[in-house]
Structure 1
Amino acid sequence: MKKRFFWIGILFLSFQMAAANGIVWGKTGHRVTGHVAEYHLSKKAKKALSKLLGGHSLAFVSTYADEIKSDRSYSSYSPWHYVNYPLDVRYADSEKSEFGDIVRGSETCIKVLKDPNSTREDKIFHLKMLVHFIGDLHQPMHVGRSDDRGGNDIQLQWFNEGTNLHRVWDTNLIESYGMSYEELGNELIRSHKRKEVKALMQGSVLDWVEETHEITKVVYASVNKGEKLRYAYSYRFNDTVFDQLHRGGVRLAYLLNSIYG
């Protein structure tokens, strides 16, 4: 009997560790984006955001929008994490979801933050959501096709592990590089000149979605269903991943600076 409980305990701990790893893996990219954004905030914006977030960093709150998915009372916000439309169509000409999408969700967050009549509670909530959404809209599979749910239905192998195209871009490529979000974020900050950063600080949410949509086309064409991806895929797309993480951070800072000075 004792032996039986021992093995049950081992299995339980293994499950807990696997679950914890799954949770952590989905967060690195968002924290990189938040970390980069924090570096590019104006002094006035930093002060305002610190006051709203109780001293927490943008990296710390960047995963909030995913964390609340376990609470059904927030289920109406789930469609705000992505937008799906055909690869040969522009967003403006696409059929819009009645439940909203990442473009309208982000614009709603910006509107609430700019409104002087918004409550403090509403501002804190929509700030956390916006930090997450700007990260999401720079991930190509969050601007994908509806028929495969943004690559979730395209099953692949990452080395010897089962995965899908969405997860490859959400998690596998970033985590396999082996850097913490601070290490990767600092590398992205130091490797881009001020002139490059300034060039990214323009445009709108819609402009950035269309830009990502062009990358999405390349990503879809990069794999065949059931394919085993290895080092060659990382070598080919690491720069794209890092570039999108950096763009997301710089543009998040651009939005927050425009709102808070």
Structure 2
Amino acid sequence: MKQITIFFVILFISQYNTVAASPEWGATGHRTIGEIAEKHLSKKAKKQIETLLQGQGLAIVSTFGDDIKSDDAYDKFYTWHFVNFPFDQKYKDSEKEKRGDIVMGITYCIDILKDTNASQEDKIFYLKFLVHLMGDLHQPLHVGRAEDKGGNDIKVLWHYKKSNLHRVWDSDMIEFYNMSYSELARNTSDLSKAQIQSIQQGSVLDWTYESQSLAKKVYNSAQPDEKLSYRYSYDHFQIVRSQLQKSGIRLAKVLNDIFD
């Protein structure tokens, strides 16, 4: 009887952790972004990045920001994965997170990579982190509301399984689509040179406001405890795919600016 009780306690904890955990974009999303970015790198930038990463591609290092969460030594970077400020307020006027946010984090990574005095070790670390954070920035709920933790506290059912709105946009829709990151990267929309240049225009802050604008729509897309299924993917997965593609294209632009 004691063994049965222990089994159900472990099962409950396991299920709770599965629901509570919410990796940004999930591994598949982040790797898709890295793979897309590779296609838009200049030859000069690609060569320097390959040297720094010792031959590793952007897809393989794209999950670095989540991987290091398992190490307490990197707890100080936790708040770099998102930014929360009121929808009716400008970022510059908002109260800032003392430990930093995603806008500050991306800016810091870029500064280190441009710093000729920065160590090789720091350049590698912050390059990996930059790849990850540029992905996070394009997940709308990473620019969501603080009061619901970017949708993490909005519980929903995803195909009859417990989830939350943040997780649905991070990984549930992507995993349900059942394509590998390389397949998703290959099957992006065909864009003209002018369209690509248009996507790459603007600053990190402009892209932050763009994600926040999408976050407003995401919040209106579902109610607490709602049962989300095929129709939800039909209505919203194209936004996910578009954000993955934009993120990869913009990541390449940022890296080209740094290394060209």
The two structures have a TM-score, normalised by structure 2, of 0.90
User: What's the % identity of the aligned pairs?
Assistant: 51
Distance 1:256 1:229 in 2: 37
Match of 2:227 in 1: 228
Match of 1:106 in 2: 106
> 1:88 deviation in Å?
2.0
Q: Is the 8 A contact 1:36 1:185 kept in 2?
A: yes
Match of 2:87 in 1: 87
* 3-state SS in 2 of match to 1:27: helix
Q: Is the 8 A contact 1:102 1:137 kept in 2?
A: yes
Matches within 5 A, 1:24-63: 26-63=26-63
> 1:90 deviation in Å?
2.2
Match of 1:132 in 2: 132
Q: Is the 8 A contact 1:85 1:91 kept in 2?
A: yes
Letter of the 1:191 counterpart: D
Distance 2:181 2:109 in 1: 25
> 1:193 deviation in Å?
2.5
* 3-state SS in 2 of match to 1:157: strand
Distance 2:86 2:232 in 1: 24
> 1:232 deviation in Å?
1.0
> 1:94 deviation in Å?
1.4
Note the residue ranges of structure 1 that are not aligned, 5 or more in a row: none
- Structure 1 runs (4+) deviating above 4 angstroms are none
* 3-state SS in 2 of match to 1:106: helix
Letter of the 1:91 counterpart: Y
> 1:219 deviation in Å?
0.5
Q: Over residues 103-140 of structure 1, what are the superposed CA-to-partner deviations in whole Å (9 max), with x where a residue is unaligned?
A: 00000000000010000000000000000000000001
- The answer to whether residue 146 in structure 2 is matched with residue 146 in structure 1 is yes
> 1:209 deviation in Å?
0.3
> 1:174 deviation in Å?
0.9
Distance 2:53 2:242 in 1: 27
- The answer to whether residue 214 in structure 2 is matched with residue 212 in structure 1 is no
Q: Over residues 182-235 of structure 1, what are the superposed CA-to-partner deviations in whole Å (9 max), with x where a residue is unaligned?
A: 0001111x6222221111122111110011100000001111100000111111
> 1:176 deviation in Å?
1.0
Note the residue ranges of structure 2 that are not aligned, 5 or more in a row: none
Matches within 5 A, 1:10-21: none
Q: Over residues 166-190 of structure 1, what are the superposed CA-to-partner deviations in whole Å (9 max), with x where a residue is unaligned?
A: 10000011111111000001111x6
Letter of the 2:246 counterpart: R
Q: C-alpha root-mean-square deviation of aligned residues, in Å? A: 2.0
Distance 1:239 1:253 in 2: 21
Distance 1:193 1:157 in 2: 39
> 1:92 deviation in Å?
1.9
Match of 1:178 in 2: 178
Q: Is the 8 A contact 1:202 1:254 kept in 2?
A: no
- The answer to whether residue 160 in structure 2 is matched with residue 160 in structure 1 is yes
> 1:26 deviation in Å?
1.9
The two structures have a TM-score, normalised by structure 1, of 0.90
- The answer to whether residue 258 in structure 2 is matched with residue 259 in structure 1 is yes
Match of 1:64 in 2: 64
Match of 2:190 in 1: 191
Q: Is the 8 A contact 1:151 1:164 kept in 2?
A: yes
Distance 2:85 2:236 in 1: 23
Distance 1:64 1:106 in 2: 14
> 1:35 deviation in Å?
0.5
Q: How many residue pairs are counted as aligned between the two chains?
A: 246
> 1:102 deviation in Å?
0.1
Distance 1:78 1:192 in 2: 35
Match of 1:245 in 2: 244
